[in-house]
Amino acid sequence: MSDQPVAIVTGASRGIGYAVASALGSRGYRLAICGTREETIRAAAERLREACDADVWPEVVDVREREAVQAFVSGAAKRWGRLDVLVNNAGITRDNIAMRMKPEEWRDVLDTNLSSVFHATQAALRPMMKARFGRIINISSVVASMGNPGQINYCASKGGIDALTRSLAREVGSRGITVNAVAPGFIATDMTAELGEEATKALTSQVPLGRLGTPEDIAHAVAFLASPEAGYITGQVLHVNGGMYM
């Protein structure tokens, strides 16, 4: 078994997931990444190989499907004989006010954002417990703490991630496994770029640092929690939001 560490990042085709994979790849990790579309996840893998000189294994995975996500996680551990870091990043929004929210809008968000975290984590725990080492890092959101109108499904899924993080950290700490979450605030992504100048100004006005965050801001926090320097940190939700929520 090689000494080179292995990290899994779900939802890594673009945005925060891609930035996290890039940060870990540049720090010497071998990467298993997944997304929902063949073309985009393979393109992301090529960019990572060129930028980081990383060993990258891309897969198309529907994280709502328990068997699919667990096969992906177990496959990465078997491929390289170890699993050091799991970053549960995959997520979607299906916004609607509570009175009009359709059952499938609730179900799809909870299945994608929360249930997938449990399924991936369950598969990762076996190799991590055997090694008596592991870093599980879940991507939450500032709205888990603040709430947000029209997003009860998304807020519930991210609040569930925070609670899952704390509970699991207590459960597996004695095995040398840390479990933490990073909660982004407003991040500049393809989605926010489409909002227009006025909407972006309105968002920025709520942030004491006076700017939207970048995917790299989140990636640096994840890389720290994966590092040896964060070995005594577990059960925490690290807010990275420019002071928007204090």
**Would you name the residues annotated as active-site residues?**
154
How remote is the C-alpha of 111 from its chain's centroid?
A: 15
Two tokens, residue 49:
């190989």
How remote is the C-alpha of 87 from its chain's centroid?
A: 5
Orientation of helix 215-226 relative to helix 15-26, angle to 10°: 50
How remote is the C-alpha of 125 from its chain's centroid?
A: 17
Nearest Cα to Cα of residue 169 among 157, 182, 181, 158: 181
User: Exposed e or buried b for every residue in 122-144, given b needs 16+ CB within 10 A?
Assistant: ebbbebbeebebbbbbbbbbbbb
How remote is the C-alpha of 73 from its chain's centroid?
A: 14
Is 138:236 a contact under the CB 8 Å cutoff? no
Q: Partners of 60 in the beta sheet? A: 35
Looking up tokens 């954002």, which residue turns up?
113
- Rounded to 5 degrees, φ, ψ at 118 are -65, -45
